[in-house]
Structure 1
């Protein structure tokens, strides 16, 4: 019989994998005993105990002291994942604002900063504003760039494999910008650039109204119309990053849909284009005939593209987000009726509750996924101890 030998490298790798198993068992759970961790990981209790103590020494876990209320026996020691061991950054570079949010490794927001920008800002101005927002957000959180473990930036327009919006973007000159390269001069962490609608869809499944669904169509309803798709629980980008860009087909009528609201008869001259839709929705609630007609025509155009996506993907839920989602009481019922007219099966339609933070929150989600993939993946070595504060 041949005797099996195990090298030191194999043993080290086994310890790394066991440590990663305990980290995963700790994350997203309340403080846990060794017995509970052993049950989740399938490791023996003695091995789990050793791994847990090692994670504490390396800074990945902390010991939660017992409350002291127990009068019978010695309370079991409990371990908690150190979510503040690292942080991620999500940035929304939009047409009218730039928003940056920092969270810990459990997705708890630590600090956020925003700044208004104009739609016609040139790339230099917009990049400078982005840099300032990020710097202020880091400063407000008491951090430096090296404290960030992953960065995701949301931008308007389909994003190719290089992280650029070379196909289309309404932001002037932005097709020439490489956000990842620009931020790479400051951050050593991985930097991902993604389309804003796709990030908003990810946010809805993570923290929004679609947490119970794996098949989702997210509709951006605002001064711009777009879509993000999640199928089988996976955010779909498409081969060139243009999945969901059905509005590029002029027959869908998404490009001109908001004009029904902006050009509604009766909108006062004192109301600018940015606020015309809000005025129309308010007037429609009051029964104004012209406003109701404008809303009906807008919904009819929105429904054409939505129906194409619904018929193609058969989602469980359609989420209506963007600025117009604040008027869901006016939009959702007529949108549902239009989809009933056009589709074989009408999914449930829900209004987003994440407001204008949805893109930045989706960016956080992708940044956390990047950390999970690179740091806690089984194909990599055990993570280095986090930097001590």
Structure 2
């Protein structure tokens, strides 16, 4: 007995799903032939050929024509995802800087703009710098707001469901700021706001030292210490967005740890508080006993919170990131020793490879994830920027 005939609507949906499967296969691979796409998707070669040509006509794919110098026969044409169909932005609204990265849909950075901002800047002044950075980034890249498919803003402090740092923030007056609303006025695409530590963890798994791991504790180490958590390959926010904010517990000693560096004996009076840690690390590297002692005390306090997270989550790897990761040569060995003493099972401890760009890179990745979610759940349409729901 045969089943009911497939309706036109079902056939249309099947074509859409098959097209999406081809786009997926193109997104994550180099330019591919019809045969390669057929093997990757399980679709027949004739079906892939028709779909690929339709994706080219629809603006989702491009064709790399074979060269004419092949010694044996004519090589097959290759198809590639048209990453320039749209663009995303990741912007790090930090304490001392604002950094914007603009990338295509493959995550290739097209342009970046960085501008310093005073640590004590009021919200209006910080937002004005943000606007200048975004305007400059778009203009110098030759793009407009209409070309942007998603924007993610990274901020310090735990981010709640509304995208605000209503719990705490080291930025003066920032708890009153609604960054999503501010960006909504500039862009008509999806806007996401996330904590900087969480985004740095996402970046390390995407392009950094944790690309081979699914269970990660990321330590953002600087004059402020924070953590980002990835478990089973998923960025963990917690029920209210405060996952990883273990430094709020005074007994963990993260709040006071940077003071060991800032108050180190021997720091010249000409060195300001923001530069004291860099001076101490340099002096410690040169063998200064007081500086080495200050670094040891800092690492001991850092290890308390790191050990608590390791014991709770049992990660594969701990990433030492943030501004102090430039001095990982002084920190990693004593940090390993402390964790071995405190933990039941010792994870790998690695230094960040992304440096000061990690937060903005994580913001880019979250924007790309948002594009993928909309692309592969809502179906294919003309390659234009998605609008807010």
Q: TM-score, normalised by structure 2?
A: 0.97
Question: Please, which runs of 5 or more residues in structure 1 have no aligned partner?
Answer: none
Partner of 1:385: 383
Partner of 1:177: 177
Q: TM-score, normalised by structure 1?
A: 0.97
Deviations 1:267-297 (A, max 9, x none): 0000111111111111112221211111111
Partner of 1:232: 232
State which drifts further: 279-288 or 187-196: 279-288
SS state at 1:376 partner: helix
Deviation at 1:257, TM superposition (A): 0.3
Q: Give the number of equivalent residue pairs.
A: 385
Deviation at 1:2, TM superposition (A): 6.2
CA distance in 2, matches of 1:64, 1:170: 50
Partner of 2:97: 97
- Tell whether the 8 Å contact from 1:59 to 1:386 is kept in structure 2 after alignment: no
User: Kindly tell me: are residues 249 and 4 of structure 1, through their superposed partners in 2, closer, same or farther at Cα, counting changes over 3 Å?
Assistant: same
Partner of 2:33: 33
Partner of 2:359: 359
SS state at 2:50 partner: helix
Question: Please, which runs of 5 or more residues in structure 2 have no aligned partner?
Answer: none
Q: Is 1:11 equivalent to 2:7 in the alignment?
A: no
Q: Is 1:148 equivalent to 2:180 in the alignment?
A: no
Partner of 1:280: 280
- Tell whether the 8 Å contact from 2:68 to 2:74 is kept in structure 1 after alignment: no
Partner of 1:165: 165
CA distance in 2, matches of 1:190, 1:107: 17
Partner of 1:84: 84
Deviations 1:325-361 (A, max 9, x none): 1111111111111111111112111111211100000
- Tell whether the 8 Å contact from 1:100 to 1:112 is kept in structure 2 after alignment: yes
CA distance in 2, matches of 1:70, 1:293: 66
Deviations 1:150-201 (A, max 9, x none): 1111000000000000000000111111111111111111010000000000
CA distance in 2, matches of 1:145, 1:95: 25
Deviation at 1:7, TM superposition (A): 2.3
Deviation at 1:35, TM superposition (A): 1.1
CA distance in 2, matches of 1:66, 1:358: 38
SS state at 1:14 partner: helix
Partner of 1:329: 329
CA distance in 2, matches of 1:386, 1:253: 49
Deviations 1:54-85 (A, max 9, x none): 00001111110112221332221211111111
CA distance in 1, matches of 2:159, 2:306: 21
SS state at 1:301 partner: helix
- Tell whether the 8 Å contact from 1:261 to 1:276 is kept in structure 2 after alignment: yes
Deviation at 1:229, TM superposition (A): 0.4
